[in-house]
Chains A and B, each alone.
Chain A
Amino acid sequence: MQIQNVIATTDFCRYCLMCRHVCPVGHVTRLETLTPHGWGLTVASVKRGLLEWNPETVEVMYSCADCGTCRSFCVTDQPLPEAIAAVRAEIVQKKLAPPVVYELDEALKQWGNPYQKQAPQAAQGNGETALFVGDDAQYLWPSALEAALKLLEAVGVRPVLIGIGRNSGYLASSLGLPETAVALAKANLQELQASGASRLLVLTPGDFFTFTQLYDERLGIERPQNVAVQEVIPFLAEQLEAGHLKFKRSSESIPYTYLDPTHTVRVKTRVDAPRKLLSAVMPEPGREVFWREVRAHACGDTALQFTNPPISRHLTYARLGDAAETGARKVITEDAGCLNQLSQHAPTFGLEVQGLYELLAGHLI
């Protein structure tokens, strides 16, 4: 159900400091303003006439990563990310959002993605299982999709591909573009419905969050109740445990670390699955970073890469720095958006980046 009066949350959060320790933007900037309570107080202060929306305060509001870490640690589950998205929508309506937001709106409306002037490919066929592809997997890191399909095939799953090159709606929602987000969501759900699938697989925790929570809470869209949503990585881990998936051991001895993707904190039950899969392939256990599992920080993807590239870069550097500190020389993750961000800066930290799907697919028996 769509959260009502969500902006009222900011009055709760403005003077609460209980999630400050986990906010990735607060962590890399150290600026009080760019923390959950800072965003809450900024909104509350505009409401009370102490501040007004101007380029400076709008930049503050567009500096949140919308990663969900604050809410995931809130004992009373305050939907601050949802409130910030709603505030951004008000800012957009007032024509005060950063110019890039309006440019992205045009791109999302016309092309369904912010990367290429190319319309989504139509979904074809029907079957029991659909797989949402999205825009990141299609344009930023296509090898992840290829590898995921190979892995699924190995366990007898040939999904109908939907949303090929189309954003899930998360980016639009995060930017404060709810109407565009609704249009994207509905297009994806129509393809899902047309596929006849009773199971929807998604490639990342971000997509899982979008389909199971964002559509409902932020956009008021109910997904079909007869469709179960599951992430591919946990699905594969189940198959491994059931003996349906087998891997050969890698001979590579390079120390590595697995980075939980952005939005992992929103889907806490998925943290063991990638590690189980890696332990079936890698000869040695991975090294664990500090910001991992239920406190995994954002990678610098999300809307922040468009609205505040310096902070986005800081987040990426922070994750790579965290990885480098373990002594790892390779970083592994599965999210295409994360892989794209990390790979741009990994060499600076003496690291190489590898996709988890590709690693697993390359060791299938």
Chain B
Amino acid sequence: MRGGLQIEMIRSELEEIVGPHFITSDEADKLVYSTDWSWMPQMWLDRGEWPAIPDFIVHPGSVEEVSAILKVANTYRIPVIPWGGGSGTQGGALPTYGGIIVDLKRLNKIIEINEQALTVTAQAGINGTQLEWALNEKGLTLPNYQASSNCATLGGYLAPRGSGTISTKYGKAEDMVMSMQVVLPDGTIIRTPPVPRHASGPDFMRLFLGSEGVFGIITEATMQVDYLPEVRLLRAMLFDSLSNALEAGRRIMTRRLEPMVIRLYDPASTKTLVKEVLGLDFDGSYVVLGFDGDKDIAALQEQKAMEICLELGGRDLGRERGEKWWNHRYDFYYPPLSLKLPWMYGTVETVTTFDKIEALYWAKKKAIEETYADWNVRYIAHFSHWFHWGVMVYDRFIIEEPPQDAREAIRLHNRVWATAVQKSVEYGGMINEHHGVGLKLARFTRLQYGTAWPLLEAIKKAIDPNGIMNPGKVGFGV
């Protein structure tokens, strides 16, 4: 427990680093920084309860200031929580043990857009959409179109291994990063090698991708960008059979037709989300296919994909409905269209190989719907991030009348998550595909990694011997 005197000593040191205008411990600030985009702290606040709050929020203006902050944190053994946009859904940025929230948004400069190499180098605190706008002005794009881009930062794209709408063609954020600058827990500033593919020893850059702040703070990244495409072709399909829709996706992917997006809504999602947000009322599985790039190549790829879909019983709903989805694909996140309190909900997403995904989907659906039938739980899903080897299911549970008591609500929430995650792992899936582990899934990393977990713990201990970096997250203790 940090006493008042020690807190003031720490404050003095932090003020000497960032200046008095860039540190706060005001009550309102602590409250606002006590929640991210995850249900747990939001519900807690909604019920009139104080979640864990930070001791300080600091805004460093340089990587040297970040380094100095971490040195101070080590001296005092006070937790440090990196903060980008606060848009994580897993509680990864929550100050569960108090400490110093390091808000990186002053590190928001674009350092270089290299039109020859097609890269952008930017500080990690830059807002995702603002970065994209700057690139668009040069006819370029960072094809990591996350729903959270309006609030997420570049560092926040990378730390949890995030993914965007067109990841199926362009990859996840981790596939776009060329190199990074990271401040290690002891304050050492390092740079990873200038290119990601080489044979010059172990790839330690990847240690920080998915680390969610437990191994250090990402302060700068060089990302591969693309030219804005000549065309984007969108089309909607409808399948009576979810199984056939999944098979269509598998064939499209394994034949390397390179769609930028395949968005497959299960019947429950089609009847709710697609209807409520897009105003399209269908029975069955609504699918959006998208191809981009050179107009002739995209058209041919689309044609080949359509042949596969039609062969498997898909019905062509036309371009307009596909374009409508594309133009409104983020509408699902705006209230009142989004899932919101007082409901309880969670995105229990996972990823696995094509041979397992359908069984996994039905098993999770059954487990959740049967186990929590008394709560009138709903289970809806769509399949959205596709790989050559498999696909991610973005599945969600919704309970419209959860317990009013905050503690009872959290317990129910955690039980539902446990059911979902255990089913995912049982059927060959991961505990998460692109939202990260954070606080919410921290207790499942041992399940996920098994005998490999002690290796990660050993790395954590070596890099962060005082355990100051984002404690309690990703399965690492205090």
Residues of B within 8 A of A38 (CB): 32
Which one of B20-28, B65-73, B389-397, B433-441 is at the interface?
B20-28
B31 sits at the interface (CB 8 A): yes
A270 sits at the interface (CB 8 A): no
A74 sits at the interface (CB 8 A): yes
- Among A32, A48, A49, A74, the residue within 8 A (CB) of B334 is A74
Q: A17-B37, A21-B150, A41-B45 are in contact. Are A56 and B28 (CB under 8 A)?
A: yes
Which one of B129-137, B182-190, B251-259 is at the interface?
B129-137
Check A76 against B336 for contact (C-beta < 8 Å): yes
Q: A32-B33, A56-B27, A57-B28 are in contact. Are A48 and B335 (CB under 8 A)?
A: no
Interface string of B314-342 (1 = CB under 8 A from A): 00000000000000101101111110110
B59 sits at the interface (CB 8 A): yes
Check A42 against B28 for contact (C-beta < 8 Å): yes
Check B151 against A41 for contact (C-beta < 8 Å): no
- Among A15, A19, A42, the residue within 8 A (CB) of B35 is A15
In the assembled complex, the Cα of A96 lies from the Cα of B129 at a distance in Å of: 37
Q: Which residue of B lies closest to A45 (CB)?
A: B31
Residues of B within 8 A of A131 (CB): none
Interface string of A57-96 (1 = CB under 8 A from B): 1001000000000000011101000000000000000000
Check B333 against A18 for contact (C-beta < 8 Å): yes
B408 sits at the interface (CB 8 A): no
Check A21 against B127 for contact (C-beta < 8 Å): yes
Q: Which residue of A lies closest to B46 (CB)?
A: A48
Check A32 against B29 for contact (C-beta < 8 Å): yes
Interface string of A216-255 (1 = CB under 8 A from B): 0000000000000000000000000000000000000000
In this complex, the member of B33, B42, B46, B83 whose beta carbon has the largest number of chain A beta carbons within 10 angstroms is B46
Check B35 against A41 for contact (C-beta < 8 Å): yes
Nearest CB of B to A34, in Å: 9
Nearest CB of A to B285, in Å: 25
- Among A19, A22, A76, the residue within 8 A (CB) of B337 is A76
A304 sits at the interface (CB 8 A): no
- Among B87, B134, B151, the residue within 8 A (CB) of A290 is B134
Interface string of A29-51 (1 = CB under 8 A from B): 01111000110011011001111
Q: Which residue of B lies closest to A49 (CB)?
A: B48
**A interface size (C-beta, 8 A):** 33
In the assembled complex, the Cα of A31 lies from the Cα of B148 at a distance in Å of: 18
Residues of A within 8 A of B330 (CB): 18, 75
Nearest CB of A to B106, in Å: 6
- Among B31, B57, B87, the residue within 8 A (CB) of A41 is B31
B50 sits at the interface (CB 8 A): yes
**B interface size (C-beta, 8 A):** 49
A349 sits at the interface (CB 8 A): no
Check A56 against B26 for contact (C-beta < 8 Å): yes
In the assembled complex, the Cα of A21 lies from the Cα of B336 at a distance in Å of: 20
Q: Which residue of A lies closest to B128 (CB)?
A: A21
Check B27 against A51 for contact (C-beta < 8 Å): yes
Nearest CB of B to A280, in Å: 25
B105 sits at the interface (CB 8 A): yes
CB under 8 Å from chain A, chain B span 47-65: 47-50, 57, 59
In the assembled complex, the Cα of A57 lies from the Cα of B106 at a distance in Å of: 23
Check A51 against B28 for contact (C-beta < 8 Å): yes
B103 sits at the interface (CB 8 A): yes
Check A33 against B32 for contact (C-beta < 8 Å): yes
Nearest CB of A to B30, in Å: 9
Interface string of B78-110 (1 = CB under 8 A from A): 000001011100000000000000010110100
In this complex, the member of A21, A38, A78 whose beta carbon has the largest number of chain B beta carbons within 10 angstroms is A21
Check B86 against A17 for contact (C-beta < 8 Å): yes
Q: A31-B29, A290-B133 are in contact. Are A15 and B150 (CB under 8 A)?
A: no
- Among B48, B103, B150, the residue within 8 A (CB) of A20 is B150
In the assembled complex, the Cα of A49 lies from the Cα of B48 at a distance in Å of: 6
B residues lining the A interface (CB < 8 Å):
24, 26-29, 31-33, 35, 37, 42, 45-50, 57, 59, 83, 85-87, 103, 105-106, 108, 125, 127-130, 133-134, 148-151, 328, 330-331, 333-338, 340-341
* Closest A-B pairs by Cβ, 6 of them: A17-B151, A30-B105, A12-B335, A20-B151, A48-B48, A21-B129
Interface CB pairs A-B, < 8 A, 13: A12-B340, A13-B335, A15-B37, A18-B151, A21-B127, A21-B130, A30-B105, A32-B57, A32-B86, A45-B31, A78-B334, A78-B335, A290-B133
A residues lining the B interface (CB < 8 Å):
12-13, 15-22, 30-33, 37-38, 41-42, 44-45, 48-51, 56-57, 60, 74-76, 78, 290, 295
Known: A30-B103, A30-B108. 11 other contacts (CB 8 A): A15-B340, A16-B338, A17-B85, A21-B127, A21-B129, A45-B45, A75-B334, A76-B335, A76-B337, A78-B335, A295-B133
